[in-house]
Every structure is written in structure tokens, then in C-alpha cells.
Copies of this chain bind each other. A is one copy, B any other.
Amino acid sequence: EILAAIQGHFAGGVLPLASGASNRPLTGRKVLITAGPTHEPIDPVRYIANRSSGKQGYALAQAAVALGAETILVSGPVNLPIPPGAQMMPIETAAEMLKLVEAELPVDIAIFAAAVADWRVATAADQKIKKGTNGLPELKLAENPDILKTVATAKSKRPKLVVGFAAETQNVIDNAKAKLAKKGCDLIVANDVSADSGVMGGNRNRVHLVSADGVESWPELDKSEVARRLMEDFARRIGALT
């Protein structure tokens, strides 16, 4: 059934692309990708972070370059080499990420693969918070900007295709459908990041594409292969590849 879905995906005479330079359907197109975690400071030495290796976003940037796109990679702190040909712009917090993303618009395809912290600490301390005699510090949280929703619902400069990612530990498909509706994006790439899935930090991934057209579930593949196939899918969705 999964195989059938994949075969359907490549039906209509469209074959997986060779990597030759002769076939670069995204030439002249601009692709923006966010990747990695954000770090939200508590004080000068502490922060709240998300677990994210950045591997999927970096693999997407490599695939975008391979298809000929001008590729902007807005990345949180990770330990990965910058894909040759991509322009990497480092950020630490969600607020910094939103600012850089908005400065890069308009783009043809915007892919939000970063694990952005939903909250930050309302007022990060200027000095290191000391172990007090007066009990524990209270961490007052504030909601971070919703970067995906902000770009997907923008009145001007909305990208042709806005793709979100949903890392879930349960009810993967249902949560992705809810996210699609709530964010106003065109597509959600959903995956299961529960501990036994091995996806967080690992090299393989099993994704589900959730759009208004329905759900397409892919088999488990290397993250680089997932990225290649996703980028071709995105190119098709904007009419750059038929």
C-alpha cells in the first residue's frame, strides 16, 4: 500500500531526477529553509532548547541546491557542515529567526523544518541567577512568535508554497491535520519522533505528507533521500516540475 503510494507519486512519466546539472528545475527560484533548534535564554549561562539535530533541514537545503534553487538556510545552533551552495544564516532565538525569515521574503518555497521553541522566558536575567536561600526561581514563560503561521497568512509576499513540519510523539496524522488547518500553510510534513522511533538525532525518517488533498505516507528512508524526494514534490507543487 505504501509502495503503491510511492509508485503513484512517480506516476505520469515522472521519474526520479538524475543529479546531472542538465536537470535543475528550480533554477531561478528562491527557496527558504529553517533548520535546527532555537535556544531561548534564561540567563547568561542557561537556556531552554529543543532537541533537533538539524539534519532534515540541512538535507533539504542540499536537495534545493541540487535542483538549482537559490537556497537560504536560516539555522539554529547545530553541528553540521553548511551544504555547499546554500547561504546559511545563523540564529539563536525564535525572535531572531522570524526577523531573518521576513527579511528574505519574497521566496518561491518556504520550508519550516526548524524545531522552534513555543515559548521563551518572559524576562531573561542579565546576570546568572544564583542558587538562592529563598527557594527556587520562577520561570515566567511568554509565547514565541509563530513563524510558520505568520508567513503562511501574510497579506503580502506570501510564498507560493509554505511547508510546515510536525514532529509528534502521538496521534501523528491527526495532529498534523490540525496543524495544517490552524497555520494556513499548504502542506505539513509529519513524522513520529517518539523515543522508540529513533528519528530524533538519527539518520532515517518516515514522513507523512498532509495537505488539503489528503495524506500520503512514505516508507522509512535516509533523511537525504527523504529530502531529495520532498524537494522534487515541492517543485511539482509550484509547477516547476511536471
Contact = CB atoms under 8 A, between A and B. Distances in A.
Interface stretch (A82-90, A105-113, A137-145): A137-145
B139 A169 contact: no
Contacts of A131: 118, 143
Nearest to A131: B118
Contact of A136 (B45, B142, B169, B193): B142
B169 A127 contact: yes
Contacts of A52: 45
Interface residues of A, number: 36
B141 A136 contact: yes
A143 B170 CA distance: 30
B47 A49 contact: yes
Interface in A159-208: 167-170, 175, 193-195, 200
Contacts of A115: 45
18 contacts: A39-B49, A42-B48, A44-B51, A44-B194, A44-B195, A45-B51, A45-B115, A45-B200, A47-B48, A47-B49, A48-B48, A118-B131, A119-B136, A128-B169, A128-B170, A128-B193, A137-B141, A139-B139
Cβ-closest 6 pairs across A and B = A136-B141, A128-B169, A139-B139, A79-B79, A45-B51, A118-B131
